[in-house]
Structure 1
Amino acid sequence: MRIMTLDPRARRPARGPGWKHLISAPLSSAAWRSYGYLWLMLLLGPFALAYVLLTVAVTAGAAVTVVGLFVAGGLVVGGRWWGALYRGLAGDLLDAEVAAPVARSPRSGFWPRLGGALGDTAGWRALLFMIAALPVTLAGFIVSTACLVLGLGGVTYWTWFWALPADLAMDSSWHTPAGLALVVVGGLGLLVLWPSAQRGFTALLRLLTRVLLGPTAASLRVAELERSRAGTVEDADARLRRIERDLHDGTQARLVAVGMQLGEAREQLASGATDSVGELLEVAHASTKDALTELRELARGIHPPVLDSGLAVALETLAARAPLPVAADVDPDVEAGGRLAPAIESIVYFSIAELVTNAAKHSHASQVQVQVDVVADGGSSILRIQVRDDGRGGATVVLPDGSGLRSGLAGLAERVRSVDGTFDLSSPVGGPTVVSVALPALRAVAAGTRGAGTGGRG
């Protein structure tokens, strides 16, 4: 239970805008900026409509040609420029900041480029906005201008009604102090109503801008997946280069030394000088064992052999070998429906191993709690992992330094997102640090084939 203390003034119910706000609304900069926005939208409307009609006409007329379709595709892609223009107007005059759509992916080849231009979703959505915004702009401009002009005219009518011809002026019964005062009150009412009247239309235009000119959820998701997969490929490439470096600088050099030692021992045996042969063979034997140890470490970094016995056993082994107490709780349902896919198991194992190592090295934690379970999510299952330590907190996700290798929490986040998972970090200063990971609970296609070829690991 959480107890909160509130300022006594915060207990007062929120009040609506007072009469002072209503009176000052017509003089506010927001009202006049909204009116200027309607003006600019109305001025752009005919040109935008002409552009849309030209795009549709060229697309329909060039359907039988190939070169003409490229022109039509260019017009469709040009809709992005119009969208940027309208987003800029909304941001500058309505304070409606809308993100730009996802950039077009470069394509190679004649037909892919043509299809990408004609099928540019952001361009077509911008053209749709140009059509949908025109009637809203026209109606909003008419209503807003009518309220403004009639309001100003009513407020000032008493100063110039005498200059109007008789057929244009109001009935003479209104030209009395009481009648003119009533006209002034009516004009003030229209002026007060003016900001509210145009606010409804600008709100609708703001909504159209956000829906049609901003990025869609699907496009953002695809872009995120492409970015995370690209990062995973770069990470895998960097890891392969590191393994190659370790093999070249470590194991290979050690094996070369073993070969030279054995060659020297053979030469001594051939020459009959056997005094130092035993020492050379002993050194070669020790070097061979060291090389095998290095190879095992490299193989364990690629795929831990303990995973061949299942995720639960692997996490129990990881907890037993950890440099601090680790309580691992794996729900039996995790493997009740069959073994998880190898990629998912590897991500879970390496993520937990990295988090436990971080807790021991950086957060000065005394214990770590690991919880792994499966929950249903519609027609699919989600694997949830939570790692909690009682350290000092303050952990952050540090972006890669440009070396190509994503290490630490940034690397974990990239690895999780590469399989359409989510990564969440909560680490306030003073602790605790809680990392929550959600992964699709993909199952292995054939559980019996997972251990094939692993019997040779020593």
Structure 2
Amino acid sequence: MATAYGPDTRDHKGSGTRGHTGQGAGPQGQVPVKHFLPAALRAPLEARSWRELLYVLLSLPLSTAMFVFAITMTSVSAGLLITFIGIPLLAVGLAACRGFGVLERARARGLLKLDVAEPVRVRGKSGGPMSWIGAVLKSGVSWRHLLYALLHFPWAVFTFCVSVTFWSYGLAALTYPLWHWVFPVFAGINGLQLYGDRTHAEYLDSPVELAATSAVGLVLVLVSPWIVRGLVSVDRLMVSGLLGPSALSARVTELESDRGVVVDTAAADLRRIERDLHDGAQARLVALAMDLGLAKEKLTDDPEAAARMVDEAHGEVKVALQELRDLARGIHPAVLTDRGLDAALSAIASRCTVPVTVEVDLDARPAQAIEGIAYFTVSELLQNVSKHARATRATVDVWRTSDRLMLQVTDNGRGGASAAAGSGLAGLTERLDAVDGVLVVHSPAGGPTTVTAELPWRG
């Protein structure tokens, strides 16, 4: 949903760039590998280039087999459709094409480092053979596998010819000075014939011509990996687009995962509320009831002691009320409902242990659910600043860009925060992801830390 973000993703005038950074070192914290040669020169030596060439070489025989099978299967099935045999034969053929898809995804995963998810398996509703046949024939994934088998063959022939031509000519020309002696020894000619007719022939045999041929070969060798890389990019699109799950299926899987996160989060919140009530206000009210009972017993015998106990109980009532207010604020603060994000975030900032500057630039209010998630996101981030950042100041910026609500919390603390699994930021990331939101963390060692959250507006 979001791309890469830096620590400054807005112009403070309402326009912004979708992004997020946050307290946690993700891929941005990885140390880049240093190379002594530029990419154009080291490409022929990289394992990636040879894996891609191997992929192209294997594509021709495999695609030929898939194409022949697909053509034969569809032709025979179409011819037998007037009988009952054609329908199950077509279903079996489509299932076999899905089997070829498993091989192609494995080949792309191993040689192209392209990880394509398995599509949903075909299952009949009743479990019988006729139900399975109907499910296979109605499955769009099955027909996309057949389309891949038909389309990939001509492309595999083209990529094979181009790749083998460039690589073979390049390597042959580059090494020509090493094997040009073969021609005068075994063929009786001076060298590789460049031109010839009945009256004249031109051979590559002089030192200058040998050097020029080798130079041309070097250029071809340097160019060949990039040509192959451009060709296999089309293969990547075909594999991911035709052999992977459909967009609808992927979206359903994502929503199912998000629903699980929402359910788990709601259950955790309920357990927290129950624990806070049991250990806090409930226990305090029980003790208050006991104290008032004792004061009632002493009221006639020792009025002064009873008055002291009532006074202490009055103080306990105030503490219990404050705990209940804090608990209610943790569920959903009234100031957020009444006055919106600006006032609610200012209230959070006033309770932070470091000075916080809040800037909210919104011309309207988002949906209540999104507003609540934004409030609790900023609340948790400011708690992290108070507990872990060792910062002396922090800023909170909220703005809208297109149909997205953007939040950015920055502090000048020690940095090094992480959104790795098991951390509080990881849980926050899951909560935002459940509503199609995004959280990005930018927190280099030594600081500063910037966390940017992106939420749908849904106003």
Q: TM-score range by the shorter chain?
A: 0.5 to 0.7
Alignment match of 2:273 (pick from 223, 243, 251): 243
Q: Partners in 2 of 1:386 and 1:124 — Cα distance?
A: 46
From 327, 330, 351, the equivalent of 1:301 is 330
- Opposite residue 329 of structure 2, the aligned amino acid is R
Residue type at the aligned position of 2:269: R
Aligned to 1:414: 430
Match of 1:329 among 359, 362, 386: 359
* CA offsets 1:76-107 (integer angstroms, 9 cap, x no match): 54343132243156x1xxxx322223664898
Q: Which residue of 1 aligns with 2:368?
A: 342
In structure 2, the CA distance between the partners of 1:371 and 1:16, relative to structure 1 (3 Å rule), is closer
Larger relative contact order (CA 8 Å, sep ≥ 6): 2
CA displacement 1:173-225 (0-9 Å, x = unmatched): 67x8x65859x979979977875897587345411221122378957777666
Contact 2:349/2:358 (<8 A) preserved: yes
- Structure 2 Cα separation of the partners of residues 97 and 354 of structure 1: 37
Please, which moves more after superposition, 387-396 or 29-38?
29-38
- Give TM-score, length-normalised by structure 1: 0.65
Aligned counterparts, 1:311-322, within 5 A: 311=340, 312-322=342-352
Paired residues for 1:15-414 under 5 Å? 37-53=55-71, 56=74, 71=92, 74-75=95-96, 77-88=98-109, 91=111, 96-101=112-117, 104=120, 125-142=144-161, 148=168, 156-161=182-187, 181=205, 202-203=228-229, 205-214=231-240, 227-253=257-283, 278=306, 282=310, 291-311=320-340, 312-331=342-361, 334=362, 336-337=363-364, 339-375=365-401, 377=402, 381-400=403-422, 408-414=424-430
Is the Cα contact below 8 Å between 2:55 and 2:107 reproduced in 1? no
Q: 1:115, CA displacement in angstroms?
A: 8.5
Between the two proteins, what is the percent identity of the paired residues?
A: 33
Residue in structure 1 matching 2:449, options 424, 433, 436: 433
Does the C-alpha gap of structure 1 residues 418 and 199 become closer, same or farther in structure 2, counting only changes over 3 Å?
same
Contact kept? 1:79, 1:124, Cα under 8 Å? no
Aligned partner of residue 374 in structure 1, secondary structure = strand
Residue 421 of structure 1 deviates from its aligned partner by: 2.2
TM-score (norm 2): 0.65
The answer on whether the counterparts of 1:413 and 1:423 sit within 8 Å (CA) in structure 2 is yes
The alpha-carbon distance between structure 1 residues 145 and 350, as it changes in their structure 2 partners (threshold 3 A), is closer
8 Å CA contact 1:76–1:117 kept in 2: the answer is no
Return the offset for 1:250: 4.7
Amino acid at match of 2:413: G
Give 1:258 deviation, angstroms: 6.2
2: distance between equivalents of 1:129 and 1:252?
65
Cα deviation 1:283-327 (Å, max 9, x = unaligned): 877766655544433322111122122222212222333332222
Alpha-carbon offset, residue 16 of structure 1: 7.8
Task: Determine if contact 2:159/2:231 at 8 Å carries over to the other structure.
Answer: no
Aligned partners of 1:373 and 1:384 also within 8 Å: yes
RMSD value, Cα: 5.2
Looking at structure 1, the residues matched to 266 and 185 of structure 2 have their Cα atoms a distance apart, in angstroms, of: 81
8 Å CA contact retained: 1:35, 1:198: no
Unmatched 5+ stretches in structure 2: 1-37, 190-195
Alpha-carbon contact 2:70-2:93 (below 8 Å) kept: no
Amino acid of the residue matched to residue 344 of structure 1?
A: I
User: Structure 2 CA distance, aligned partners of 1:306 and 1:141?
Assistant: 67
CA deviations 1:251-283 (Å, max 9, x no partner) are 5555566677788899x79xx997799589848
Determine helix, strand or coil for the equivalent of 1:346: helix
Provide the rounded CA distance (Å) in 2 between the counterparts of 1:304 and 1:325: 22
Deviation at 1:409, TM superposition (A): 1.9
Does structure 2 conserve the Cα–Cα contact (< 8 Å) formed by 1:128 and 1:212?
Answer: no
Letter in 1 for 2:445: V
Change beyond 3 A, Cα 1:295–1:146? closer
CA distance in 1, matches of 2:87, 2:153: 32
Residues 427 and 85 of structure 1: CA distance in aligned 2, closer, same or farther (over 3 Å): closer
Unaligned runs of 5+ in 1: 1-13, 164-169, 401-406, 444-458
Change (3 A) 1:187 1:394: closer
Query: Structure 1 residues 226 and 73 mapped into 2: Cα distance closer, same or farther (>3 Å)?
Result: farther
In 2, Cα distance between equivalents of 1:352 and 1:199? 48
Amino acid at match of 1:437: A
